[in-house]
Amino acid sequence: MKKIVAGALACCMLAGVVPASLVKFADSSLSAEAADEYIEGESGFLTYKKYEDHVVISDCKTTAMAAPIPAEIEGLPVTEIGDNAFQDCSVLKSLTIPDSVTLIGDEAFYNCSGLTEITLPDGVTSIGQAAFCGCSGLTGITIPDGVTLIGESAFSGCSGLTELTIPDSVTSIGEWGFYDCSGLTEITIPNGVTSIGECAFYCCSGLTKITLPDGITSIGISAFEGCSSLTEITIPAAVTSLGGYAFHDCSSLTSVTFLCHEINFYERFGECSNLSELVFLDPYADIVFNTIDFNESLVIKGYEYSTAQGFAEANGFEFVSLGAMPETTEPETTEPTEPETTEPTEPATTEPTEPATTEPTEPATTEPTEPATTEPTEPATTEPEPTETTEPIPTEPQPTETPLGDVTGDNVINAGDAAMTLSTAAEYGATGSYGDMTEVQITAADIDGNGMVNASDAAYILQYAAIRGANGKDFDIRDLVK
């Protein structure tokens, strides 16, 4: 609109009918948004927008088989490939982008199915959403070192892509980032990446090997679902979130190694029909399991007396020992137990003492005679009631009848107690309920005193049973936590 107004003013000025003051006002109002204004032009098959200090490639004729992008147009640097600039240029074969370009817009090369090679300059820092989506003829691409984010669906449907280099500068791979890149056979996720989005490598059916970085914390829903050629995978220790269906239908997967602590199998490895080995390298791994998803021939590997061993025995799987537990794992369990044992004792001693001393003194002085005669008679008649009030007291010493660790109540602490603890922990992880386990059993199973029954408790019970069986000497099971 402003261009029309400016043009009209220019015509009127030539005719001598517009005052100079009005022309001056019009010029000042237009210059206020000069940075947003552009002049559109053409260069060969390309259409561009020329701004005050740079040029953006905005369009390309779909009939172009080659469309060289100049580094400068009219003396200004070309810095951006705009949104949808080369969309549906299906006969375009190759393209070199000049070093001056720093930004590739959303869907910039969407559905360029004939594009077989493209060179991205080192200056590129951002690749937009679906930038190369549907470029099924593209065989290889190197992402420059300055890029930090690979946008959603950036390379979705690049089924011909066989070579891919992702730089260390990338910290996040967006949802559907490499969906259906069926030609990819191997990929290394760089150390800088901390999260992989939902369906990022969904249906990459040719992928046989994936290396995940140590610092990754989150793997999204269905991130590697349908990677039917993948044979093995290691989940790093830093992973705290493993999305549902993350490795669903990875039909060639035979071995998974877990370095992480929390492992929930529900719907994560479904339809992995050839999975034959699970390796747990955290001795106190918190395992939530769904036996429906696994073969009966599954082998569990882990350290002696670890939660992995309890997990295997509780579910009827073969267990293969990796040797004695590493000593370095014990300090990790000391930190959570100290705050939990000290906090309950302090409030328990401070709260009862103050109210107990203040309340009895005031009633004792205000009602000396009447309560004195009524109170003795009431205790005399209510002596049966103290048996009701003393009933809760036996429930506290009941752990002497059901010692800590004796979950089944058979006066023996053995693998059966560990198995019951582990299966109950799995039920709680799935349903939020301890099922048929009684309060006494919950107390007996909570070895580390954190108020919960989990796989770590099962590992302590199993460890205690093994040590006790080896030397025949009894000891406090809580010493294992310390």
* pLDDT band at 163; cut points 50, 70, 90: confident
Separation between Cα atoms, residue 23 and residue 101, nearest integer Å:
37
**Residue 10's pLDDT band (boundaries 50, 70, 90)?**
very low
Alpha-carbon dihedral sign for residues 330, 478, 438, 349: negative
- Model pLDDT, residue 290: 64
pTM of the model: 0.67
Measured at the CA of 109, the angle between CA 107 and CA 110, to 5 degrees, comes to: 55
| 91-143 tens-digit pLDDT | 999 898 999 999 999 999 999 999 998 989 999 998 999 999 999 999 988 89
The token pair that represents 387 in the structure block: 């048996």
Q: What does the pLDDT look like over 407-425, one tens digit per residue?
A: 888 888 887 788 788 878 8
Q: Name 273's Cβ contacts closer than 8 Å, sequence gap at least 6.
A: 251, 295
Name the token pair of 459. Answer: 């590992």
Which percentage of the chain shows pLDDT scores above 90?
Answer: 47
Lowest mean pLDDT segment, chosen from 45-59, 170-184, 337-351: 337-351
Beta bridge partners of 263: 287
Q: Given a cut of 80, is residue 15 above it in pLDDT?
A: no
Cα 250 from Cα 254, distance rounded (Å) = 9
Q: Is the predicted pLDDT of residue 402 greater than 80, yes or no?
A: no
Domains in the chain, CATH or no CATH each: 40-170 (3.80.10.10), 279-328+395-475 (no CATH)
- In 254-329, which residue ranges form alpha helices assigned H by DSSP? 307-315
More confident residue, 60 or 163: 60
Q: Provide the token pair at 409.
A: 């109540």
For residue 428, give both structure tokens: 């709680």
Residue 60 forms beta bridges with which residues?
46
What percent of the chain lies above the pLDDT cut of 70? 76
Average pLDDT, the chain: 79
Confidence of residue 403 (pLDDT cuts 50, 70, 90): confident
What is the arithmetic mean of pLDDT over 42-53?
Answer: 95
209-242 pLDDT, tens digit per residue, is 999 999 999 999 999 999 999 999 999 999 999 9
DSSP string, 352-421: HHHHHHHHHHHHHHHSSHHHHHHHHHHHHHTTHHHHHHSSHHHHTTHHHHS-TT-TTSSS--SHHHHHHH
What is the model's pLDDT at position 33?
A: 36
Q: Is the pLDDT of residue 395 over 70?
A: no
Per-residue confidence (pLDDT) for residue 457, from 0 to 100: 85
Q: Does the structure show a pLDDT above 90 at 427?
A: no
Q: What size, in residues, is the chain?
A: 482
- DSSP annotation of 79 reads E
Torsion angle in degrees (nearest 10) through CA of 340, 341, 347, 352: 140
Instruction: Say how far apart CA 361 and CA 366 lie, in whole Å.
Output: 9
**353: pLDDT strictly greater than 70:** no
Asked if 285 contacts 266 with a C-beta cutoff of 8 angstroms, the reply is: no
Choice between 292 and 369, residue whose per-residue pLDDT is larger? 292
Average pLDDT rounded to a whole number, residues 73-94 = 95
